[in-house]
Amino acid sequence: MGKICYSLLLMILLLGCNNTKQQAVPDQEITKNKIQSPFKLSIDRGAVVYKNLCSQCHRPNGKGIANNYPPLAGSNWLTQKRLKSIRAVKYGLKGAIVVNQKQYDGLMSPMGLSNMQVADVMNFTMNSWGNKQKEMVTPNEVASVKK
């Protein structure tokens, strides 16, 4: 009787040890996947596009230049007009628009970006300087936006 109790106890202890080991591995993998998610990678690539092609007008801080270049940081245009924003970056934009109650009447030329680069730079601008947009822009979504 004592022997059976002892081996049962041993089994429970061993099983207990195994369980903790098995739980530790998936936890680490989940953290790793989060850091390298496609969304995060797209935002990182978009930061490079932004620096090279957008920051001279919209500025590195996304605030634009008063009366000439509208802001992207906190821009209600960018937040409320998702498809129009994609179209503007893909094909260019001109004529009067109102951003955060201020009127701009300028010209943004098309920059010849691929659908992938447009998606990346949109994901960056929509998730920088306090902007937050959970739904990722994909190259397919950009491809579906026509002139």
The answer to whether 107 and 94 have CB atoms below 8 angstroms apart is yes
Q: Are 125 and 72 in contact (CB under 8 A)?
A: yes
Should residue 105 be labelled a site residue for ligand HEC when binding is judged by CB under 6 A? yes
Judged by CB under 6 A, which stretch of 2-10, 17-25, 85-93, 126-134 contacts ligand HEC?
85-93
Neighbours of 15 (CB within 10 A): 9
Rounded least distance, CB 88 to ligand HEC, Å: 5
Query: Per rule CB under 6 A, is residue 93 in the interface with ligand HEC?
Result: yes
Cα separation, 122 vs 78, in Å, equals 9
| Position among 99, 119, 126, 145 found at the interface with ligand HEC (CB under 6 A) | 99
Q: Would you state the structure tokens that stand for residue 20, as one six-digit string?
A: 């903790």
- Residue 72 interacting with ligand HEC (CB under 6 A): yes
Environment class of 106 (CB within 10 Å of its CB; exposed 0-12, middle 13-18, buried 19+): middle
Output the CA torsion sign for 11, 13, 16, 22: negative
Q: How far is the CB of 15 from ligand HEC (least distance, A)?
A: 56
Nearer to ligand HEC, 33 or 109 (CB): 109
Stretch that binds ligand HEC, among 14-22, 53-61, 128-136, 138-146 (CB under 6 A): 53-61
88 binds ligand HEC per the rule CB under 6 A: yes
53 near ligand HEC, judged by CB under 6 A = yes
Which residues make Cβ contacts (< 8 Å) with residue 51, sequence separation at least 6? 60
Which positions touch ligand HEC (CB under 6 A)? 49, 53-54, 56-58, 69-72, 75, 77-78, 85, 88-89, 93-95, 97, 99, 104-108, 111, 121, 125
